[in-house]
Amino acid sequence: MGIQPFMGVNPAALESNMKTDAVEMIVKSGNAANSNVSRRAASERMSMLGIPEEEMTPSVSLAVSALMEKLDDVSRELSRTKESLAEIEQLVDVDCIAPVPNRRAFMRRLGWAITMHERYGHPSTILYFDINDFKSINDQHGHAAGDIAIRHISQILSTTMRESDFMARIGGDEFAVIMYYANEDAAKMRGGEIAEKLVNTPFIFNGKPLHVTAAYGYYSIRRGDDAELALAAADMSMYVDKRRYKEKSNK
């Protein structure tokens, strides 16, 4: 025996209308930012929640709509949080004096370069700089002059390196560059060019030109290296050049 009409209303038609209303309510409230959400998308949302269409009564529809709005709010908040974290990450990776990467960023990039060498044999060389007599700049002219010197050196390094290179201030008066697809001969040549440019390019402090010089060293990444050991090897190479500079200065 089929379902009989009641007071002139067909129950099947009434149930169908309720389902349609439920879908329309989800279309309107499930994504407030997009008024063009289709009924098909709303039905898919109901399916994702595991709610059979025949159970989507008006009260259930309202609850689902509120849940969807909350989920949209959470999704937007997560997006904003990710953007904020990305900004913080960028700030953490930037030096506090010069607008260049810091040691933290350098070591992460160096680790990546070592991985690329291990897996694919891609050569990379570290070029390491240490500013000569940097302490005397601070002692004679003050720390403001020292900060200007750091920014001056950072700019020269940035303008003389290749686009593929990665430069950072390691700390104090020390800088390092990762030269991808370069051997020690190429690094030695580049180091000499940069050291010469530093000598011939003074920075201005209180209207007076001040000159800086730099010792440099280099080290090509080898299999089995880790980031700390590779950087230490480049540092040791730099100290050989610094000794030569001190011996020459003392004559």
pLDDT tens digit string along 140-157?
999 999 999 999 999 999
Among 41, 59, 91, give the residue marking a domain's end: 91
Residues 115, 233 share a domain: yes
The predicted structure's pLDDT at residue 36: 47
Of 91, 115, 140, the position where a domain reaches its end is: 91
User: Domain check: are 141 and 202 in the same one?
Assistant: yes
Query: What total number of domains does the chain contain?
Result: 2
10 band by pLDDT with thresholds 50, 70 and 90: low
Mean pLDDT of the chain: 83
In single-letter form, the type of residue at position 65 comes to: S
> 168: helix, coil or strand?
strand
Do 217 and 179 contact (CB within 8 A), yes or no? no
Please check whether residues 108 and 84 belong to one and the same domain.
no
Q: Which residue has the higher pLDDT, 246 or 193?
A: 193
What is the mean predicted confidence (pLDDT) over 81-103?
A: 76
Instruction: Tell whether the model's pLDDT for residue 1 goes beyond 60.
Output: no
Q: Does pTM surpass 0.85?
A: no
Q: Which of 37-51, 59-73, 166-180, 232-246 has the lowest mean pLDDT?
A: 37-51
pLDDT of residue 32: 47
**Amino acid 130: pLDDT:** 97
- In this predicted model, which residue has the larger pLDDT, 9 or 80? 80
Which range marks the domain in which residue 187 is found? 103-250
Name the percent of the chain lying above pLDDT 90.
Answer: 61
Same domain, 114 and 200: yes
CA atoms within 13 A on the CB side of 201: 16
For CA atoms 172, 200, 237, 182, give the dihedral sign: positive
CA dihedral angle for residue 231, residue 234, residue 236, residue 239, rounded to 10 degrees: -120
Looking at residue 68, what is its pLDDT? 77
From 96-100, 121-125, 153-157, 245-249, the region with the lowest mean pLDDT? 245-249
pLDDT at site 94: 92
On whether both 63 and 115 belong to a single domain, the answer is: no
80 and 139 in a single domain? The answer is: no
Cα separation, 173 vs 216, whole angstroms: 12
